[in-house]
Structure 1
Amino acid sequence: MKVTETPLRDCFLIEDTVYADERGYFFESFNQQTFYKHTGLNIGFVQDNQSASVKGVLRGLHFQKGNAAQAKLVRVLQGAVLDVVIDMRPHSPSFGQQYAVELTEQNHLQLFVPRGFAHGFLVLSDKAVFFYKCDNYYNKAAEGGIVYNDPTLNIPWPIAEAQLIVSEKDKTLPFWNTACQDAGFEAL
């Protein structure tokens, strides 16, 4: 396992060792001891989630507030997505910064998203199956989000906006400044 810290504090890109032969492949997708050795983080995952989406689906940008905040370990089981995270932790040196990475079934990359981050992804392939582990249970009352086309964040989504498939709920999420205030801190 190769673990690289992204430009965002405490956010890690994980490249697993994949053993492939004529039968297919095998890799260990998570090992608590190895993860701790490489990151110094002792994470106890309690919930797994999976979604399937078609090309152009944009899910996000979502986060959980307060005590319901979630750290996530995300990966793609089928297809390809552009995964995007934004550091929303006001005392972090990378506050307000974003990071994007393409996660695919071929590259087997995983992204560890710490608590206090907004997260979203855009499906680049005809279909994608997205899987993630969470270290806290989902709490509907603690939902938060940032609209995907926020002008302050100016995320360079690689599919034209007219071709995006976005839920009505995600289309009406607040802008960055409002989302920050809703989460209890000042924006940039």
Structure 2
Amino acid sequence: MFRHKQKQIFYNFKWLGYLALTAGVILVTIGMLIQLIPIGEAQFHITINGVEQPYTIENVTKMRLLFLGIMGGLGGLFLITALIIIGRSRHRAKLIGMLKQSGEKVMAEVIDYAPSQVRINNQPARYLVCTYQNMTGENLIFKSGLLRWNPISFLSDKKVIVYYDSRNSNRYFVDVDESMGKVVNL
């Protein structure tokens, strides 16, 4: 029996964080392993500006430190990038959970399916723009996360569920997946 999985509409970039984390760990590990490999006179052949450098402990140490600096520096950049991507993803998931638990749930009307500045496969990623008028008569504008495809035909009455913090309307989550119901790949 086939089990169908709910189709995810939002782009998820967390995998890039794990890819950067893996690359960073590999580069730092290589830089550290070079420090342990014995280098004898037969393996030491370095030329700088056409001048063969002699085999000395000082030159070997400089070469090891240079290699560690390059590999460790690149690895460190990848690790910092990974921590930022994964950290933001976890923070966003925690915020969404908090908003779903204690935020105000409203049905907002979709007014646009707009292109963003992010390009994926040479096409602009898109998001929904929706509006809701609160009890005080103030119109609130909400934007969804980046979407893989246009969900408007799957929404009833062109409305989406929005969870927002009534004390700070800049903290919100447009729940397009829940608004669409079950959409599966066959």
TM-score, with structure 1 as normaliser:
0.20
* Larger Cα-atom Rg: 2
Higher strand share: 1
TM-score, with structure 2 as normaliser:
0.21
